[in-house]
Structure 1
Amino acid sequence: MAEAALKLSGLEVPTARELPQNIEAEQALLGAILINNDAFDCVAEFLKPNHFFEPLHGHLFEVMGNLVRSNKIANPITLKTFFPVAMDIAGFSAGQYLARLAAEATTIVNAPDYGRTIYDLAVRRELIKVAEDMLSAAFDAAVDCSSQDQIQQAEQLLYEIAETGRYGGGFETFDAALDNAVERAAQAYQSDGKLSGLPTGLLDLDARMGGLQPTDLIVIAGRPGMGKTSLATNIAFNVASAYDPAQHLGDVSGPATGGIVAFFSLEMSSEQLATRVLSEQAEVPSSSMRRGDIGEGEFGKLLEYRQRMRRLPLFIDQTGAISIAQLAARARRLKRRRGLHLIIVDYIQLMQGRSQRAAQNRVQEITEITTGLKALAKELNVPVIALSQLSRGVENREEKRPQLSDLRESGSIEQDADVVMFVYREEYYLRNKEPKPGTEEHATWEREIQDARGKAEVIIAKQRHGPTGTVAMSFQGEFTRFFDLARQSD
């Protein structure tokens, strides 16, 4: 009855089919290893015993690996002792089967190809298993299990398949590494601003950092109210607005000046983020936009800038408490479909780790997150900007300028980050320390706050490939906008 109902609804129950496998490839690889143990090193980096369809072949591969790693010879004679004498394998004893595998193998040249075939078929079997689990879960879902939960679980399973057993990577020659280093220097030489990385649009900051370097994890940290999200949105807009598809297709010489941006906003909604960018560009205070306290002219400017920015390659994911696995999967998907040149995460402390064990220890969970972000930057070859909160210890001392030790769970963040920047505004703290009006202290305070008004500091406390120091910036709080001090004087 159930199958008939499914057919009436247009759905068909999948019929049982044979799982993808290639026994001959497994036998050929094992035979190649038996005649020359060097063949094992050709596939050991990506091939595991569980990738074999035939359990006996997987066990053989495991025993061979143990022998080779122990600097012992793996051949039919040494392997024979690991199997029962009375063992029957399709009419052959263990010794006879091993001898036949070795006799039918002629060369180890094709061993990597056999290994990749076995691995790819194992991945396909895993995908089939995931699909079957998804089908069963969809049919027999619990009452309290939402469809979104099932989608996230499926994404997690697919992510784990993609992450395990990649057979890329490995060693590269120093000659190739030198070529890459010279190419990066050539990009900086060809750039008008002498930048080797992606420009932030803030000239003084770019001069100190050389732009945002691919594979770098860049941490922007600060206490609440300092403007770290504003700095991140400013950079996101500058990079996205400078994007020229022709540069990334190779039609224009020299380094790219813009790119496609993925902004993971765990704290603010996409609408709030868009309001900030619109306020910054149209120069209409965001607070006035929220209250509707704007005139006809200002509203016209908002409509004008909305039209200008409609095609901006800035993609926002507003999922709260997103896990590092979900973030990585979505970043990969965006790069595959649209392209990707910069990732921004706001902010680290709102993310979740992948494992339940890590979730029980916050420091361990942050370590997993920062390690995952750094790995993602290297994998996708893009800079990753991650925002971070600072501990309350800043508020308890006289000197409010942040230090590396002020980072929450600072060990992993400081260790994994290539660049650590702090956003600091003296004006913010001075406003909270106003003395009694009419006193001498109040007159001094007025002079200090006048000098600090509209100014900010971006303190580069760590930079693997460049100098540390402080970059003076201007900050317009009503428009949540950072820009260079030189531009303010102009």
Structure 2
Amino acid sequence: MNIELPANIEVEQALLGACLVNNKALDADAVSRLGEDHFSEGVHARIWEAMRAIKKDGRVANPITVKSSLPSDVKIGELTIAQYLARLAADAVTIINAPDYAITLMGLADRRRTILAAEELTYAAANAECQISDGIRAAREELTRIVSEIEDRNHKAVSFADMIDGTLDRTEYAATGGARLGLDPGLNEIMALTGPWENGQLIIIGAGVKQGKSALTWQTLFTMAENHVVAGNSGEMPRDQLIRREIARRTGISATRQKRGSLSPIEMDEVVRASAEMKRLKVAEINCQRLTLDRLDERITRLKGEYGLEAYFLDHIGKLEWSGKLDLDEDWKKGQRATSRLKDMAMKHEIPIIAVTHLKKATFGDYPGRSFRDRIYTAMNRRPNYQDLVGNMDKDADQVLIPFNVRPILAGMEPEEGTADHDIWDEAMRKTEGRAELILSLSRESEFPRRKDIEWHGATTSFGPTFKQKKNSEELFA
């Protein structure tokens, strides 16, 4: 079935003529958003691009200057390009309607793109040589882009007075027992440091190796999913591992024991119950593919449109995919580009984005001291800060959280057994068992740095009170 693509040549001509007569029409908001792809007629698209280039150079776009920017052999029916431009200008009535013309053309272009996407999907479905999944994916991504552009155009400007009233209303609602502003990350220690995580914020969780940055991130995602629609990307762990770790947090039965099947019938029942509870969580997606920033942006757009996504988690920045010359850049350059784009995405999609990052190379390479006791003291008291993390924290991050767990660092410093140094080490290991810290290393809206002690459960890779303790406490005070 051949469908005629919607177009309106007369409106295209009216818009071009209005802009040729008076370049002020080019400055109108709707008109300034037009691109060559919004024109159905090829020569109109070329005229439009020539006009915009001339205007950008600070010159006046009129039939004479535009003619000089186009090939002289271009013909429109029996008219030369010079004659056609002159007619467009002569037929122009007013520039007042230019924004309406532009809106009409954008709507028609959306319809053409939608029809073409549907036709390409139909071809992929009918052609046995094509992968239907590729066709569906391409059509979905194109339709998501179209919807996103339409929503951006329909987003109405809000006056400053209305902004203040809206902010005041939300504050008053929270103060009188309504919902808090932003999303509760699910740990009292984080709430005490950062407060709720708000739309448009980039929350960075960064730390060294084996400090619990991924554990904290996914614990927050699953806790938040009890009340809010969330999604995440893991470049380090497959879905099975993430799910087993969350089951471990909820039951106290380690992921290792789950994998081995070393469970009693009672424990198996606990795992089954925890799994059933987790099915009710509002997790829209856990994706474990490496994504480029562009694909991540498209994915968030789709998830927000389909599920009403409220927060996105990325674990981690170092596992993003890069192409071309960017792939050859150093990690710190990639990190800066990543945090900049992620902040833009948080603002664009009006959700908090939580991203994991790691320490820069050679940070804390060793722990100096004249004696082993001094080295242990240094290890237990030297903490990273936001400047040690990969990414542009100063410009992009709204909150930077650093989980600090000294026990894995000490474990790598174990001296020979039976020595005085081993006794010192053993004492330090006992003191730090089950303990960790959360450090607010940078914040746009509260004092920093600040720290909070927090429980750490190595067997279940989780922070804070156990899941059962927290649940019992909530039921007690409900």
The question of a shared fold, defined as TM-score above 0.5 by the shorter chain, is answered with yes
Deviates more, 1:47-56 or 1:158-167: 158-167
* 1:227 counterpart residue number: 212
Q: What's the CA shift for 1:260? A: 0.9
| 8 Å CA contact 1:130, 1:154 repeated in 2 | yes
Deviates more, 1:338-347 or 1:102-111: 102-111
Please list every run of 5 or more consecutive structure 2 residues that lacks an aligned counterpart in the other structure.
368-378, 474-478
Alignment of 1:250-261 (within 5 A): 259-261=228-230
Q: What's the CA shift for 1:192? A: 7.7
Q: What's the CA shift for 1:115? A: 0.6
Taking structure 1 as reference, are residues 214 and 350 closer, same or farther at Cα in structure 2, changes over 3 Å only? same
Aligned to 1:393, what secondary structure does the other structure show? coil
Aligned to 1:214, what secondary structure does the other structure show? coil
> What residue identity is the alignment partner of 1:418?
D
The superposition leaves residues 122-170 of structure 1 with CA deviations (integer Å, 9 ceiling, x where unpaired) of: 344344555556666777898xx96655655555666666777964669
| 8 Å CA contact 2:202, 2:355 repeated in 1 | yes
- Out of 324, 344, 350, which is 1:356 matched to? 324
Taking structure 1 as reference, are residues 319 and 442 closer, same or farther at Cα in structure 2, changes over 3 Å only? closer
Please list every run of 5 or more consecutive structure 1 residues that lacks an aligned counterpart in the other structure.
1-13, 244-258
| 8 Å CA contact 2:387, 2:393 repeated in 1 | no
Percent sequence identity is 31
Aligned to 1:53, what secondary structure does the other structure show? coil
Q: What's the CA shift for 1:114? A: 1.2
Normalised TM-score (structure 2)? 0.81
Q: What's the CA shift for 1:220? A: 1.0
2:21 is the alignment partner of 1:39: no
The superposition leaves residues 298-330 of structure 1 with CA deviations (integer Å, 9 ceiling, x where unpaired) of: 222222223333211123323321233333333
Taking structure 1 as reference, are residues 284 and 79 closer, same or farther at Cα in structure 2, changes over 3 Å only? closer
| 8 Å CA contact 1:156, 1:325 repeated in 2 | no
Cα distance in 1 between the residues matched to 2:339 and 2:246: 27
| 8 Å CA contact 2:284, 2:309 repeated in 1 | no
Alignment of 1:256-335 (within 5 A): 259-335=228-304
| 8 Å CA contact 1:219, 1:420 repeated in 2 | yes
Taking structure 1 as reference, are residues 101 and 306 closer, same or farther at Cα in structure 2, changes over 3 Å only? same
- Out of 385, 395, 413, which is 1:403 matched to? 385
Taking structure 1 as reference, are residues 223 and 187 closer, same or farther at Cα in structure 2, changes over 3 Å only? farther
Cα distance in 1 between the residues matched to 2:69 and 2:415: 85
The superposition leaves residues 239-297 of structure 1 with CA deviations (integer Å, 9 ceiling, x where unpaired) of: 112x1xxxxxxxxxxxxxxx111122222222221111111112222222222222222
Q: What's the CA shift for 1:188? A: 4.9
* 1:482 counterpart residue number: 463
Taking structure 1 as reference, are residues 80 and 453 closer, same or farther at Cα in structure 2, changes over 3 Å only? closer
Aligned to 1:396, what secondary structure does the other structure show? coil
| 8 Å CA contact 2:145, 2:298 repeated in 1 | no
* 2:109 counterpart residue number: 122
Q: What's the CA shift for 1:371? A: 3.3
| 8 Å CA contact 1:321, 1:351 repeated in 2 | yes
> What residue identity is the alignment partner of 1:22?
N
The superposition leaves residues 430-475 of structure 1 with CA deviations (integer Å, 9 ceiling, x where unpaired) of: 2333344454434433332222111111222221222222222111
Q: What's the CA shift for 1:37? A: 3.0
* 2:438 counterpart residue number: 458
* 1:112 counterpart residue number: 99
Count of paired positions? 452
> What residue identity is the alignment partner of 2:321?
Q
Normalised TM-score (structure 1)? 0.79
- Out of 208, 214, 225, which is 2:199 matched to? 214
2:412 is the alignment partner of 1:432: yes
2:12 is the alignment partner of 1:26: yes
Taking structure 1 as reference, are residues 110 and 282 closer, same or farther at Cα in structure 2, changes over 3 Å only? same
- Out of 15, 31, 40, which is 1:53 matched to? 40
* 2:189 counterpart residue number: 204
2:376 is the alignment partner of 1:384: no
* 1:256 counterpart residue number: none
Taking structure 1 as reference, are residues 238 and 191 closer, same or farther at Cα in structure 2, changes over 3 Å only? farther
| 8 Å CA contact 1:46, 1:167 repeated in 2 | no
Q: What's the CA shift for 1:334? A: 2.4
> What residue identity is the alignment partner of 2:224?
V
Taking structure 1 as reference, are residues 347 and 67 closer, same or farther at Cα in structure 2, changes over 3 Å only? closer
* 1:252 counterpart residue number: none
* 1:441 counterpart residue number: 421
